[in-house]
Copies of this chain bind each other. A is one copy, B any other.
Amino acid sequence: MRAGMKISRIGEFELIERIKKKVEKRYPTSQNRRIIVGIGDDAAVIEPYGEKLLVATTDTMVESVHFSTEDADFEKIGYKAMVSSISDIIAMGGKPKYALISLALSKDSLIKDVDGLYEGILKCGKKFGVRIVGGDVVSSPRNAVVTLNLLGEVERGRVICRSGAKVGDGILVTGNFGDSAAGLEILKGRWKIPGKSDYIRKCKKNLIKKHLLPQPRVREAEIISGKRRATAMIDSSDGLDLSVRFLCQASKVGAKIWLEKIPLSPCLKYLISSKEALRALNFALYGGEDYELVFTVPGKKVEKVLREVPHTVAIGEIMPARWRIRYLDKKDREVKLKGRGYEHFL
Protein backbone atom coordinates (compact mmCIF):
# COMPACT_ATOMS: atom_id res chain seq x y z
CA MET A 1 0.00 0.00 0.00
CA ARG A 2 1.41 3.31 -1.15
CA ALA A 3 0.31 5.20 1.94
CA GLY A 4 2.38 2.81 4.07
CA MET A 5 5.60 3.95 2.38
CA LYS A 6 8.07 6.28 4.01
CA ILE A 7 7.91 9.85 2.75
CA SER A 8 11.55 9.58 1.64
CA ARG A 9 10.28 7.24 -1.13
CA ILE A 10 8.23 9.98 -2.77
CA GLY A 11 10.16 13.08 -1.75
CA GLU A 12 9.21 16.59 -0.76
CA PHE A 13 7.67 17.77 -4.00
CA GLU A 14 5.44 14.79 -4.59
CA LEU A 15 4.41 15.00 -0.94
CA ILE A 16 3.36 18.65 -1.37
CA GLU A 17 1.49 17.71 -4.55
CA ARG A 18 -0.31 14.98 -2.59
CA ILE A 19 -1.26 17.38 0.21
CA LYS A 20 -2.40 19.97 -2.30
CA LYS A 21 -4.70 17.45 -4.03
CA LYS A 22 -6.07 16.25 -0.72
CA VAL A 23 -6.92 19.78 0.39
CA GLU A 24 -8.30 20.87 -3.00
CA LYS A 25 -10.48 17.78 -3.24
CA ARG A 26 -12.28 18.49 -0.01
CA TYR A 27 -12.27 22.28 -0.05
CA PRO A 28 -11.91 23.52 -3.63
CA THR A 29 -10.31 26.96 -3.70
CA SER A 30 -12.57 27.71 -6.65
CA GLN A 31 -15.51 27.57 -4.24
CA ASN A 32 -14.05 30.39 -2.20
CA ARG A 33 -13.63 33.51 -4.25
CA ARG A 34 -11.75 35.18 -1.42
CA ILE A 35 -8.80 32.82 -1.92
CA ILE A 36 -7.05 34.38 -4.92
CA VAL A 37 -4.01 32.09 -4.72
CA GLY A 38 -4.06 28.92 -2.59
CA ILE A 39 -1.51 26.14 -2.03
CA GLY A 40 1.30 25.75 -4.55
CA ASP A 41 2.79 29.21 -5.05
CA ASP A 42 5.38 31.25 -3.16
CA ALA A 43 2.67 32.64 -0.87
CA ALA A 44 -1.11 32.59 -0.51
CA VAL A 45 -3.16 35.61 -1.61
CA ILE A 46 -6.47 36.35 0.10
CA GLU A 47 -9.22 38.90 -0.45
CA PRO A 48 -9.32 41.37 2.44
CA TYR A 49 -12.14 41.56 4.95
CA GLY A 50 -13.58 44.94 4.02
CA GLU A 51 -14.02 46.87 7.23
CA LYS A 52 -12.96 43.97 9.43
CA LEU A 53 -9.62 43.57 11.18
CA LEU A 54 -7.18 40.75 10.56
CA VAL A 55 -6.43 38.33 13.43
CA ALA A 56 -3.32 36.14 13.22
CA THR A 57 -1.84 33.47 15.48
CA THR A 58 0.85 30.81 15.31
CA ASP A 59 1.22 27.63 17.40
CA THR A 60 3.95 25.04 17.35
CA MET A 61 3.57 21.46 18.55
CA VAL A 62 6.63 19.25 18.94
CA GLU A 63 6.52 15.45 18.96
CA SER A 64 7.25 13.99 22.41
CA VAL A 65 6.68 17.42 24.01
CA HIS A 66 3.15 18.36 22.92
CA PHE A 67 2.02 15.11 21.43
CA SER A 68 3.03 11.50 21.27
CA THR A 69 2.06 8.91 18.72
CA GLU A 70 1.87 6.45 21.61
CA ASP A 71 -1.16 8.33 22.92
CA ALA A 72 -2.90 9.47 19.74
CA ASP A 73 -2.96 8.71 16.04
CA PHE A 74 -1.93 11.43 13.61
CA GLU A 75 -5.51 12.35 12.79
CA LYS A 76 -6.19 13.23 16.43
CA ILE A 77 -2.91 15.15 16.63
CA GLY A 78 -3.88 17.22 13.59
CA TYR A 79 -7.37 17.82 14.92
CA LYS A 80 -6.10 19.02 18.28
CA ALA A 81 -3.46 21.29 16.74
CA MET A 82 -6.23 23.03 14.83
CA VAL A 83 -8.42 23.30 17.95
CA SER A 84 -5.58 25.01 19.78
CA SER A 85 -5.18 27.66 17.06
CA ILE A 86 -8.92 28.19 16.61
CA SER A 87 -9.20 28.68 20.36
CA ASP A 88 -6.63 31.52 20.19
CA ILE A 89 -8.52 33.31 17.42
CA ILE A 90 -11.95 33.06 19.06
CA ALA A 91 -10.50 34.21 22.40
CA MET A 92 -9.78 37.54 20.64
CA GLY A 93 -13.40 37.75 19.52
CA GLY A 94 -12.35 36.68 16.02
CA LYS A 95 -13.65 34.25 13.42
CA PRO A 96 -11.03 31.76 12.17
CA LYS A 97 -10.74 31.64 8.37
CA TYR A 98 -7.46 30.55 6.74
CA ALA A 99 -4.59 28.28 7.81
CA LEU A 100 -1.00 27.83 6.67
CA ILE A 101 0.66 24.66 7.94
CA SER A 102 4.38 24.06 8.38
CA LEU A 103 5.47 20.47 8.88
CA ALA A 104 8.95 19.34 9.84
CA LEU A 105 9.02 15.55 9.40
CA SER A 106 11.66 12.89 9.67
CA LYS A 107 12.54 10.95 6.52
CA ASP A 108 11.14 7.86 8.17
CA SER A 109 7.66 9.37 8.53
CA LEU A 110 5.03 7.37 6.70
CA ILE A 111 2.87 8.85 3.99
CA LYS A 112 -0.19 7.62 5.85
CA ASP A 113 0.89 9.57 8.92
CA VAL A 114 1.05 12.79 6.91
CA ASP A 115 -2.32 11.86 5.39
CA GLY A 116 -3.71 11.27 8.87
CA LEU A 117 -2.37 14.55 10.20
CA TYR A 118 -3.97 16.47 7.33
CA GLU A 119 -7.16 14.47 7.71
CA GLY A 120 -7.47 15.69 11.30
CA ILE A 121 -6.56 19.27 10.39
CA LEU A 122 -9.07 19.27 7.53
CA LYS A 123 -11.86 17.69 9.57
CA CYS A 124 -11.50 20.25 12.32
CA GLY A 125 -11.10 23.02 9.73
CA LYS A 126 -14.29 21.98 7.95
CA LYS A 127 -16.21 21.86 11.20
CA PHE A 128 -15.22 25.41 12.14
CA GLY A 129 -15.01 27.10 8.73
CA VAL A 130 -11.23 27.17 8.28
CA ARG A 131 -9.51 26.59 4.92
CA ILE A 132 -5.90 25.58 4.28
CA VAL A 133 -4.30 28.11 1.94
CA GLY A 134 -0.62 27.22 2.13
CA GLY A 135 2.27 25.76 4.06
CA ASP A 136 5.73 24.32 4.05
CA VAL A 137 7.08 20.79 4.37
CA VAL A 138 10.67 20.26 5.44
CA SER A 139 12.81 17.52 6.89
CA SER A 140 13.53 17.14 10.60
CA PRO A 141 16.29 14.84 11.91
CA ARG A 142 14.12 13.39 14.64
CA ASN A 143 10.96 14.76 16.22
CA ALA A 144 8.10 15.91 14.03
CA VAL A 145 7.12 19.56 14.44
CA VAL A 146 3.73 20.93 13.40
CA THR A 147 3.23 24.70 13.20
CA LEU A 148 -0.22 26.08 12.50
CA ASN A 149 -0.68 29.66 11.41
CA LEU A 150 -4.25 30.73 11.55
CA LEU A 151 -5.72 33.90 10.09
CA GLY A 152 -9.14 35.22 10.92
CA GLU A 153 -11.28 38.31 10.92
CA VAL A 154 -12.90 40.38 13.63
CA GLU A 155 -15.16 43.42 13.67
CA ARG A 156 -13.49 46.45 15.18
CA GLY A 157 -15.78 46.71 18.23
CA ARG A 158 -15.60 43.00 18.94
CA VAL A 159 -11.88 42.64 19.73
CA ILE A 160 -11.37 41.35 23.28
CA CYS A 161 -7.82 41.55 24.64
CA ARG A 162 -6.35 40.10 27.80
CA SER A 163 -5.70 43.60 29.04
CA GLY A 164 -9.14 45.13 29.64
CA ALA A 165 -10.17 43.69 33.03
CA LYS A 166 -11.09 46.25 35.72
CA VAL A 167 -11.33 45.96 39.51
CA GLY A 168 -14.85 44.78 40.38
CA ASP A 169 -15.33 42.78 37.18
CA GLY A 170 -16.65 39.27 37.58
CA ILE A 171 -14.49 36.37 36.33
CA LEU A 172 -16.48 33.92 34.22
CA VAL A 173 -15.53 30.65 32.57
CA THR A 174 -17.13 28.31 30.05
CA GLY A 175 -17.31 24.54 30.44
CA ASN A 176 -15.37 22.41 32.89
CA PHE A 177 -11.75 22.37 33.91
CA GLY A 178 -9.33 19.51 34.45
CA ASP A 179 -10.91 16.89 32.19
CA SER A 180 -8.12 17.03 29.62
CA ALA A 181 -5.33 16.67 32.19
CA ALA A 182 -7.24 13.88 33.97
CA GLY A 183 -7.73 12.14 30.61
CA LEU A 184 -4.00 12.27 29.90
CA GLU A 185 -3.18 10.78 33.31
CA ILE A 186 -5.65 7.92 32.70
CA LEU A 187 -4.28 7.40 29.17
CA LYS A 188 -0.72 7.26 30.48
CA GLY A 189 -1.74 4.83 33.24
CA ARG A 190 -0.45 7.24 35.86
CA TRP A 191 -3.84 7.60 37.50
CA LYS A 192 -5.18 4.23 38.58
CA ILE A 193 -8.89 4.34 39.35
CA PRO A 194 -10.31 1.49 41.43
CA GLY A 195 -13.65 0.02 40.33
CA LYS A 196 -14.76 -1.32 36.96
CA SER A 197 -18.43 -0.38 36.66
CA ASP A 198 -19.85 0.63 33.29
CA TYR A 199 -20.16 4.19 34.50
CA ILE A 200 -16.52 4.33 35.58
CA ARG A 201 -15.48 2.95 32.20
CA LYS A 202 -17.67 5.50 30.43
CA CYS A 203 -16.25 8.32 32.51
CA LYS A 204 -12.65 7.29 31.87
CA LYS A 205 -13.42 7.18 28.16
CA ASN A 206 -15.05 10.61 28.33
CA LEU A 207 -12.04 12.21 29.97
CA ILE A 208 -9.61 10.61 27.50
CA LYS A 209 -11.75 11.97 24.69
CA LYS A 210 -11.63 15.42 26.25
CA HIS A 211 -7.85 15.15 26.13
CA LEU A 212 -7.54 13.80 22.59
CA LEU A 213 -10.40 15.65 20.89
CA PRO A 214 -11.10 18.87 22.76
CA GLN A 215 -13.59 21.32 21.25
CA PRO A 216 -13.05 25.05 20.94
CA ARG A 217 -15.83 27.22 22.41
CA VAL A 218 -16.71 28.80 19.07
CA ARG A 219 -20.39 29.44 19.74
CA GLU A 220 -19.86 30.83 23.23
CA ALA A 221 -17.04 33.10 22.02
CA GLU A 222 -19.28 34.44 19.28
CA ILE A 223 -22.01 35.29 21.78
CA ILE A 224 -19.52 36.86 24.19
CA SER A 225 -17.89 39.05 21.52
CA GLY A 226 -21.22 39.81 19.84
CA LYS A 227 -22.82 41.14 23.03
CA ARG A 228 -19.77 43.33 23.65
CA ARG A 229 -19.95 43.10 27.43
CA ALA A 230 -16.65 41.28 28.12
CA THR A 231 -13.75 43.50 29.23
CA ALA A 232 -11.02 40.83 28.77
CA MET A 233 -10.77 37.25 27.54
CA ILE A 234 -8.20 34.44 27.21
CA ASP A 235 -8.43 30.76 26.38
CA SER A 236 -7.37 28.24 29.00
CA SER A 237 -4.78 26.31 27.00
CA ASP A 238 -2.23 26.42 29.85
CA GLY A 239 -4.63 25.69 32.72
CA LEU A 240 -7.02 27.91 34.66
CA ASP A 241 -4.37 29.24 37.05
CA LEU A 242 -2.04 30.50 34.33
CA SER A 243 -4.95 31.83 32.27
CA VAL A 244 -6.07 33.99 35.18
CA ARG A 245 -2.48 35.04 35.84
CA PHE A 246 -1.91 36.06 32.21
CA LEU A 247 -5.18 37.98 32.09
CA CYS A 248 -4.41 39.77 35.38
CA GLN A 249 -0.83 40.50 34.36
CA ALA A 250 -1.96 42.08 31.08
CA SER A 251 -4.73 44.03 32.83
CA LYS A 252 -2.48 45.03 35.77
CA VAL A 253 -5.00 43.72 38.29
CA GLY A 254 -5.32 40.92 40.84
CA ALA A 255 -8.09 38.37 41.37
CA LYS A 256 -9.88 36.23 43.89
CA ILE A 257 -11.18 32.83 42.87
CA TRP A 258 -13.50 30.66 44.95
CA LEU A 259 -12.13 27.16 44.63
CA GLU A 260 -15.48 25.43 44.99
CA LYS A 261 -16.91 27.46 42.12
CA ILE A 262 -14.40 26.10 39.60
CA PRO A 263 -16.57 23.89 37.39
CA LEU A 264 -15.66 20.21 37.29
CA SER A 265 -17.39 17.70 35.05
CA PRO A 266 -19.69 15.08 36.63
CA CYS A 267 -17.28 12.40 35.37
CA LEU A 268 -14.23 13.95 36.98
CA LYS A 269 -16.13 14.43 40.24
CA TYR A 270 -17.34 10.83 40.13
CA LEU A 271 -13.85 9.38 39.56
CA ILE A 272 -12.21 11.47 42.24
CA SER A 273 -12.60 9.87 45.68
CA SER A 274 -13.21 12.15 48.62
CA LYS A 275 -9.62 11.58 49.76
CA GLU A 276 -8.31 12.99 46.51
CA ALA A 277 -10.13 16.32 46.29
CA LEU A 278 -6.84 18.10 45.69
CA ARG A 279 -6.12 15.96 42.65
CA ALA A 280 -9.15 17.33 40.81
CA LEU A 281 -8.13 20.85 41.70
CA ASN A 282 -4.62 20.24 40.42
CA PHE A 283 -5.99 19.02 37.11
CA ALA A 284 -8.27 22.04 36.82
CA LEU A 285 -5.81 24.72 37.83
CA TYR A 286 -2.54 23.42 36.41
CA GLY A 287 -3.45 20.83 33.80
CA GLY A 288 -4.22 22.85 30.70
CA GLU A 289 -5.52 21.92 27.25
CA ASP A 290 -9.16 22.35 28.23
CA TYR A 291 -9.55 25.15 25.63
CA GLU A 292 -12.27 26.79 27.68
CA LEU A 293 -12.75 30.57 27.78
CA VAL A 294 -11.87 32.71 30.78
CA PHE A 295 -13.34 36.22 30.59
CA THR A 296 -14.32 39.20 32.67
CA VAL A 297 -17.44 41.39 32.64
CA PRO A 298 -18.40 44.41 34.75
CA GLY A 299 -19.90 43.30 38.07
CA LYS A 300 -23.36 44.65 37.23
CA LYS A 301 -23.55 42.62 34.03
CA VAL A 302 -22.51 39.24 35.44
CA GLU A 303 -26.05 37.95 35.94
CA LYS A 304 -27.10 39.02 32.44
CA VAL A 305 -24.07 37.42 30.79
CA LEU A 306 -24.60 34.17 32.70
CA ARG A 307 -28.06 34.01 31.13
CA GLU A 308 -26.78 34.91 27.64
CA VAL A 309 -23.78 32.60 27.36
CA PRO A 310 -24.44 28.86 27.68
CA HIS A 311 -22.19 26.63 29.82
CA THR A 312 -20.87 29.59 31.77
CA VAL A 313 -20.35 30.18 35.49
CA ALA A 314 -18.81 32.93 37.62
CA ILE A 315 -15.80 31.83 39.67
CA GLY A 316 -14.29 35.02 41.05
CA GLU A 317 -13.75 38.73 40.98
CA ILE A 318 -11.08 41.10 39.72
CA MET A 319 -9.24 42.81 42.61
CA PRO A 320 -6.51 45.45 42.83
CA ALA A 321 -3.08 44.34 41.60
CA ARG A 322 -1.65 44.06 45.15
CA TRP A 323 -4.00 41.13 45.76
CA ARG A 324 -2.20 39.05 43.12
CA ILE A 325 -4.17 35.81 42.61
CA ARG A 326 -5.84 34.48 45.75
CA TYR A 327 -7.77 31.22 46.03
CA LEU A 328 -10.52 31.27 48.65
CA ASP A 329 -12.58 28.61 50.37
CA LYS A 330 -16.35 28.81 51.01
CA LYS A 331 -15.80 31.05 54.01
CA ASP A 332 -13.61 33.49 52.07
CA ARG A 333 -10.44 32.23 53.77
CA GLU A 334 -7.35 32.11 51.58
CA VAL A 335 -6.13 28.64 50.56
CA LYS A 336 -2.42 28.36 49.77
CA LEU A 337 -1.76 26.10 46.82
CA LYS A 338 1.58 24.75 45.76
CA GLY A 339 1.11 23.67 42.16
CA ARG A 340 1.89 25.57 39.04
CA GLY A 341 1.03 25.54 35.34
CA TYR A 342 2.87 23.88 32.56
CA GLU A 343 6.21 25.54 31.86
CA HIS A 344 7.91 24.36 28.71
CA PHE A 345 11.52 24.90 29.69
CA LEU A 346 11.48 23.94 33.39
Contact = CB atoms under 8 A, between A and B. Distances in A.
Interface in A84-140: 87-89, 91-92, 94, 98, 100-105, 107, 133-140
Interface residues of A, number: 79
A48 B54 contact: yes
Q: How many copies does the complex hold?
A: 2
Given A43-B94, A94-B43, A7 B345 contact: yes
A174 to B, nearest CB: 15
Given A8-B345, A53-B36, A142-B141, A104 B60 contact: yes
A46 interface: yes
A89 B44 CA distance: 9
Contacts of A91: 42-43
A198 to B, nearest CB: 39
B56 A136 contact: no
Nearest to A94: B43
Interface string A159-174: 1011100000000000
Interface of A: 7-8, 10-13, 15, 36-37, 40-62, 64-66, 87-89, 91-92, 94, 98, 100-105, 107, 133-143, 145, 147, 149-152, 154, 159, 161-163, 233-235, 250, 343-346
